[in-house]
Every structure is written in C-alpha cells, then in structure tokens.
Amino acid sequence: MSNIRLKDGFNFIRLDDNQGTTTTTTRADRQCLFLLDVKRQALSCAISVLLIHPHATFDDQRPCLKKMNCELTYSRCFVTSSRPRSDQVTGHDQRSKFVVTCTDLSNGLTNPDERFQFVVPNFILAHDEKDAIKVGFRI
C-alpha cells in the first residue's frame, strides 16, 4: 500500500505492470496510467479512479487491459473534547476494493456517477487536508 497525497482535480499515477505474460511487449505496453479524480462536494470528498489506456476499445490482451482491482484507504485518529479534561480519542478507518474502469478517453471522461467513487465525509478530514487528502492506494 502506497500513501499518496491527492489534490483537488486530476491526479496521475504511472505504474509498471510486472504481471505481463508475453515477452514481446514493449516497456510502454507494460506501463499503466491511472487518473484519480478528486472532487469536493458539500458534505464530502469523492475520489474516482480510471485506468487510461490508448487501446482500451480493442479486445487484445495487453497487460493494462486486464481487470485491475484497486484498493483505496483513509484513516485518521483525532481527539474530541466536549468539556475540559474529557478528551476522547476517536478513529475513522475506511477501505474499499473495486475494479478500475478502463478508458481511452476518446469520448471524454465518463460521468462520475457511472463509476465507483470513494467518499470521505468532510467532518472526518484533517484540518490540513483542506487542499489535499492523504489516502492509501494499491493495485
């Protein structure tokens, strides 16, 4: 699991796919580009993940076209106090696993409502996460 800090808007992650089964693929064929789209909403922060592949519409067996599972996590502990000297430690842990949507972007971005969204409530976000949110990311 890698911890990454995501800013509002588009964030890109490039990973090498070490699970390629053919020896004839080029280095570019084994690299996967992920778009993590962070959108602030009235009561939450939503993160969606897309796998961008230039040949997503073709039915060949390139490594990035395999169904890829993604895991996103968010964790935070904080102290709450309703009255003096009554501090309580509160924790929030969130984890989701899902299949990443693959696209070649030829028709633009798909509607976020048509793909999985990882939603973190605003009241859980740390004070220093107003501009960027720190999440765990694993493929």
C-alpha separations of 8 from 48, 50, 91 in Å: 12, 16, 24
Tell me the pLDDT of the chain (139 aa) as tens digits. Answer: 899 999 999 999 998 765 433 333 445 556 789 999 999 888 899 999 999 876 655 444 444 455 789 999 999 887 776 666 667 777 889 999 999 988 888 778 878 778 889 999 888 787 777 778 889 999 8
**Tokens 């976000």 belong to which residue?**
125
Q: Are strands 101-103 and 44-52 parallel, antiparallel or unpaired?
A: parallel
